[in-house]
A and B are shown apart, each in its own frame.
Chain A
Amino acid sequence: MSLLEVRDVTKVFGTLTALGGASMTVADNEFHGLIGPNGSGKSTMLKCIAGAEIPTSGTVILSGKDITRATPPERSRAGMSLKFQITAVLPQLSVYDNLLLAVQAHQPMLGLLLSRSRRALDAKVMDLLGQFRLADRRDDIAGTLSHGQQQWLEIAMALSREPKLLLLDEPTAGMSPQERRVTGDLIAPIKTRCSLLIVEHDLDFIKDICDSLTVLDQGKIVATGPTAQVQKDERVKEAYLSHG
């Protein structure tokens, strides 16, 4: 059984059909890339999966449970986590506090009021900071991190609750080549922990880390399957990968 199943999802904005009956699946511990030209509907697809948009029709299923109309907190509890395209760290808080905020999210309100878990969660926060090369910046204000470091912090925050499915929306946007390489190195080890659905423009990056790809064009699926197979697809090659 697939971890994520998107069945015949349509999303209409006024007179514009952003997604027209798109279906795809992501298996357990699979790294799946979602690609397509600008306006192809990949961001809308990710938003429909994440709960930022509700599909006009169709179904989104996570671990066998219909989450099509679930709220973002309900999706989070079901095991889904998201990193937005636009960096959304809390710029006035320290790097440590940003991560603590994400790590403590499922603690009961009364426990948070009494700060019961602050000490217990410290090791987990420090472990994640170490994994994402941010340990020496832990007390710095998040807004003063470089763009790449803010992206890593966001990925660490999204990973902090050990999701079954991690959604990453253009994690390397605006990064230098060096930062992209590091990002690839940071993401690769999480394969043993969860599945990944990633929207990305950098095809070299996505080909290197993804097991499978789904290609969208004008709101419809052009191709989906193992990365090597999709790369060979003539329609895809011609349209998107000819310079990849």
Chain B
Amino acid sequence: MSQVSNSGPLRRVLPVVEIALLVLALPLPWILDDFWVVFATKMIILALLAISFDLVWGYAGIMSFGQALFFGVAGYTAALLATKSEVTSIFILLPLSGLVGLALAFVVAAIVIFGKRIPSVVFVALGTMTGSYAVERLARGWSWVGGQNGISSLPRLTAGTFEIEEGIVFFYMALAILVAIYLAVRFLVRSQFGLVLAGIRQQEGRLGFFGYQVQSYKGVVFSLAGFIAGVSGGLFAFHEGFVGPGQLGPVLSTQAVLYVLFGGVGTLIGAVLGVSVIEMISYALPQIDSLGSAIQEFLETGWPIVLGVLLLATVMFRPTGLIGLVVGDRERIGTFGRRMRGADAKREAP
């Protein structure tokens, strides 16, 4: 575990980055053309998936390689309801997507997290990845859910009689949901509950001796992350108008891991930043003609390999991710009780 230094005053950079990104996002639909508005909306929805992974790994130390499972199953459930039962109300489908993600995450937690002994990080990672892979295989072979082709041509979400189209309306709706969930998770991780999560992340074995029912806390946070992934999956299905087996599997789960590690694990804004940068690079890189046709062809099929190398490089050389360039360890980990102000902050200044 890396040593956090006392040196330097406790700067508050995170709120500045958060507000700057929000201010940057707000006018986008009025500046960008339709294609980029749809692209930006997709990034916002994927940011929810990244936040769900950051909550379990960055804050509670639970390594999940299965967040796509909750994302995809929720998306499939909403898509099936819309196509087979003609339910399109956002007020039904979105909460339902979240609840499906929550319930499924609770079941997965019961299998890989609960128990008398503390499960190893590798066991949880492999367990969640196996679940994600198994359900993807199941979906590919099950014709009732569309098999390999998934479910396409989904109807639009509705709010009363109003149809929510992709574009400006969907963008602001997704942004509002992201901001609401972001603030709720921010409140949670900075609460006394968040202090328990920090304890679990650093000294899980010790917390039981204080009297904490550690598995209960892990189950709750894992289920809440499942809820967020489920909301993300439901939104994604209707934004793309399609849900397929790829939205359930380890590739998307790994992508969520990469978003967070690249952006900065243990900071919610790092997860959002990671999605934005990686999705932009993913789109832009194959479009650069000067790279040559051979490289462009390779990137079209071999992009996951580039992402894998990026993941490795981040873990080895920049474990605090992009956000670590501007946010110190002290602020990233945060304080839960007294905050340094005035004389205390001055005393700590170099």
Contacts and interface: CB of A to CB of B under 8 A. Distances in A.
Given A77-B211, A112-B196, A122 B191 contact: no
Contact of B203 (A88, A106, A113): A88
B283 interface: no
> In which size bucket is the chain A interface?
35 or more
Interface stretch (B72-80, B85-93, B295-303, B334-342): B334-342
A73 B212 contact: yes
A200 B204 CA distance: 26
Interface string B158-199: 000000000000000000000000000000100111011011
B208 interface: yes
B235 to A, nearest CB: 25
Interface stretch (B2-10, B139-147, B317-325): B2-10
A216 B5 CA distance: 42
A101 B206 CA distance: 11
A89 to B, nearest CB: 8
Nearest to B211: A76
10 contacts: A73-B211, A73-B212, A75-B209, A81-B209, A92-B202, A105-B212, A106-B211, A112-B195, A122-B338, A139-B340
Nearest to A144: B6
Contact of A118 (B192, B202, B333, B344): B192
Contacts of B209: 50-51, 72-73, 75-76, 81-82, 84
A70 to B, nearest CB: 11
A90 B206 CA distance: 9
> In which size bucket is the chain B interface?
35 or more
A138 B4 contact: no
Interface of B: 1-6, 116, 188, 191-193, 195-196, 198-199, 202-203, 206, 208-213, 216-217, 220, 329-330, 333, 335-338, 340, 344, 348
B337 A122 contact: yes
Contacts of A91: 1, 3-4, 202
A137 B51 CA distance: 34
B220 A109 contact: yes
A115 B6 contact: no
Contact of B192 (A88, A96, A115, A161): A115
Nearest to B3: A143
B5 A97 contact: no
Contact of B198 (A93, A114, A140): A93
